[in-house]
Structure 1
Amino acid sequence: MANKMKVAVVGAGGRMGKEVVKLVLGDEELELVAAVGKSDAGADAGTLVGLPACGIRVTSDLEMALVEYRPDVMVDFTTPQFAYSNTALAIKHGVRPIIGTTGFTPEQIEELDKQCAEQNIGGLIAPNFSIGAILMMKFAAQAAKYLPHVEIIETHGDQKLDAPSGTSIKTAEMIAQNREEIRQGNPKEEEVIEGARGGYYNGFRIHSVRLPGVFAQQEVIFGGYGQSLKIRHDSYERAAYMPGVKMAMEKVMSYTGLVYGFDHFID
């Protein structure tokens, strides 16, 4: 197929990176031109993810891959330690970054947005690529206009490094846009055990649960007089994020500047 979108995957040997490699290799509209990973350098990207060999060898040199193979987009599911520099490097070489790593500061996002604008390209940083999770966020933001008393409970596996999750923080930001800050609960309440009421954000609470055997869940609970509303999303495997990653690749081609949040791509 002519005019395939050329894709570089950074963190190709990671759990999410492997899913992205599978997505690209199995999609007729996409072409894997580079796979980047330090621990898997030299391995065939296809066999690395349990597919037939594809002829693309994993490299540890991101800049070389960007310069030599000239991808249209770079998909990065690495760690906050590397994601900022990877994103800046991609933008420098005119490659549109699609970043699934959380932990960027507002100042970093602003700087990367400026760099994208200077290069006249688009980019995306998304705490969550699940279409269902994005709909949950949008529904929660809408509900907050009418039921401002709210709490968020997010549950992930016990190996997740950040708490609260990027998804819950993004949800809280969207909710906060539609409600005044209200300090909820009894004004005289006292935490008998520190942290029992969760993390404080704009007057409401975010609770993080970390347990083995859990993948990803989030529930947004609204309370009103004589009623409650619960909006919940569950992800059962990483493949659930891939339709969103594919949509992000398509959408980012028509944007200029860095977009924070996959919700901007869903009307």
Structure 2
Amino acid sequence: MTIQLCLAGATGWAGSALARAIAQTEDIELVAAVSRTHAGRSLGEVLAEPRLTGPIYATAEAALAAHPCDVFFEYTKPDVAKANVLAALERGANVVIGTSGLTDADYAEIAATAEARGRGVLAVGNFALTAVLLMKFAEMAARLIPQWEIIDYASDGKKDAPSGTARELAARLARIRPSALTVPLDETQGLVETRGARLAGSQVHSIRLPGYTISVEIIFGMTDQTLTLRHDSGNSAEPYVDGALLAIGKVGSFMGVRRGLDSVLEI
């Protein structure tokens, strides 16, 4: 059975790589795309890929109204992502979220709508399979090591902080336990802000500099020993394609919200 897909953010850095990969698949059909910049054109024309025949719309609402779909893939910006996801759920689509910056409150609202509509939402902070493995390894380590801190690296132009990857990692570790602090934050001498932000029980530091694409690092510490886990992405969006395709195929297999690609994989 072919999955009918609507892709929001189809002409962006990550979205265009995913669209080109979909053009080579046989079980996913990209029926519509969302891009304000290229609205009114065909996606194949914009991406120079003739196998992509779906039209581009300026808004998710317009695309969903014209082309009912099985899966809506959200790959835009935080300020419109929640509205896009809710609109897709109301139209009866399952949703994959690749946009970072949504809060826990946003996900609570999305979860309520998904449950009410009997649809699935898979939110993935990072589709790279190496990032998925980092999170699994970090969960294993957190069960044995009580102290850690997360460092989130991205380019100087990335506006949201921390990244979706760091948010997802902190949320997952919170289900195990909060990271212990030898010196409580309110007893810090000097600038407490230099200790990072307390997010879901983890200290998180966001670095934004030229030269980085997307990286996340978690450092676990015990007496006289440390463990460092790190995922680094290069300049292309290719690392995210395989995971995104897996997410599209799996999102219809459950109801409600799941966070993390590994939540639908057997690892």
**TM-score clears 0.5:** yes
SS in 2 for 1:213: coil
Q: Cα distance, 1:40 vs. partner?
A: 0.6
Give the AA of the match of 1:256.
M
**Counterpart of 1:260?**
259
Q: Cα distance, 1:140 vs. partner?
A: 0.8
For 2:8 and 2:167, the matched residues in 1 are separated by 24
Give yes or no for contact 2:78–2:100 (8 Å, CA) kept in 1. yes
**Counterpart of 1:240?**
239
Aligned partner (choices 45, 48, 61) of residue 46 of structure 2: 48
The 5 A counterparts of 1:35-74 are 35-52=33-50, 54-74=52-72
Aligned partner (choices 96, 114, 122) of residue 116 of structure 1: 114
Distance change (3 Å), C-alpha of 1:252 and 1:162: same
**Counterpart of 1:30?**
28
Give yes or no for contact 1:18–1:49 (8 Å, CA) kept in 2. yes
Deviations 1:138-170 (A, max 9, x none): 211210121112111121111111112121122
Q: Percent identity?
A: 33
Distance change (3 Å), C-alpha of 1:184 and 1:60: same
Q: Considering only aligned residues, what root-mean-square deviation do their CA atoms show, in Å? A: 2.1
Distance change (3 Å), C-alpha of 1:202 and 1:111: closer
Q: Cα distance, 1:221 vs. partner?
A: 0.8
Residue 251 (1) aligns with residue 246 (2): no
For 1:112 and 1:67, the matched residues in 2 are separated by 20
Deviations 1:154-199 (A, max 9, x none): 21111111112121122122223323552235886523x5633222
Give yes or no for contact 2:31–2:55 (8 Å, CA) kept in 1. no
Give yes or no for contact 2:32–2:56 (8 Å, CA) kept in 1. yes
Give the AA of the match of 2:63.
A
For 2:48 and 2:197, the matched residues in 1 are separated by 40
Q: Cα distance, 1:203 vs. partner?
A: 5.9
- Single out whichever of 8-17 and 103-112 deviates more from structure 2: 103-112
Deviations 1:71-115 (A, max 9, x none): 111111111111111111111110111111123233332222222
The 5 A counterparts of 1:155-174 are 155-174=153-172
Which TM-score applies when normalising by structure 1? 0.90
- Single out whichever of 232-241 and 47-56 deviates more from structure 2: 47-56
Equivalent residues, number? 264
**Counterpart of 2:145?**
147
**Counterpart of 1:206?**
204
Deviations 1:212-237 (A, max 9, x none): 12111111111112211111111113
Give yes or no for contact 1:44–1:53 (8 Å, CA) kept in 2. no
Give the AA of the match of 2:163.
S
SS in 1 for 2:193: coil
SS in 2 for 1:134: helix
For 1:260 and 1:151, the matched residues in 2 are separated by 21
For 2:118 and 2:217, the matched residues in 1 are separated by 38
Distance change (3 Å), C-alpha of 1:218 and 1:197: same
Give yes or no for contact 2:215–2:230 (8 Å, CA) kept in 1. yes
Give yes or no for contact 2:147–2:179 (8 Å, CA) kept in 1. no
Unaligned runs of 5+ in 1: none
- Single out whichever of 144-153 and 64-73 deviates more from structure 2: 64-73
For 2:15 and 2:231, the matched residues in 1 are separated by 23
Distance change (3 Å), C-alpha of 1:103 and 1:202: closer
Q: Cα distance, 1:61 vs. partner?
A: 4.2
